[in-house]
């Protein structure tokens, strides 16, 4: 059985595709950026969570993801879940959008 061909895709393109899907579907999109690093782009595409299964993500990675997604005046913070601590990034003014999408079941 032949192995599937390997395809190389720029991470910026993958992030923008995930953001586009989040905007169109109004559903959260999760992408694996590395062996232990994930991004969860919220419904609407203007905010995201960055988390690792072991340890915590760094703010420089969050800034790079925010830049790739084209977020303007990003606001950074932390969210402590049951088992993981995530870096939260939201475009200034996107608070209203996030609240509306949570009511529609977009962000968990």
Asked if residues 40 and 29 have their Cβ atoms less than 8 Å apart, the reply is: yes
Percent of the chain with pLDDT over 70: 86
**CA–CA separation, 78 and 90 (whole Å):** 11
Q: Tokens representing 101? A: 């999408």
What pLDDT is stored for residue 31 in this prediction? 96
Q: Residue 104 — pLDDT band, cuts 50, 70, 90?
A: very low
- Per-residue model confidence as pLDDT tens digits over 49-85: 999 999 999 999 999 999 999 999 999 999 998 998 9
What pLDDT is stored for residue 12 in this prediction? 95
Global confidence as pTM = 0.80
What distance separates the 2 farthest-apart alpha carbons in the chain? 51
Signed CA dihedral, 87, 24, 21, 104: sign only: positive
């Amino acid at each position: 059985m032949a192995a599937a061909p390997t395809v190389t895709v720029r991470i910026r393109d993958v992030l923008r595709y995930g953001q586009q899907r989040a905007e169109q579907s109004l559903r959260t999109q999760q992408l694996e950026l590395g062996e232990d690093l994930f991004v969860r782009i919220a419904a609407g595409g203007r905010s995201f969570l960055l988390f690792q299964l072991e340890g915590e993500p760094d703010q420089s990675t969050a800034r790079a993801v925010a830049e790739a997604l084209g977020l303007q005046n990003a606001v950074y913070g932390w969210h402590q879940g049951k088992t993981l601590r995530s870096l939260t990034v939201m475009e200034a003014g996107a608070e209203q959008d996030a609240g509306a999408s949570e009511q529609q079941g977009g962000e968990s």
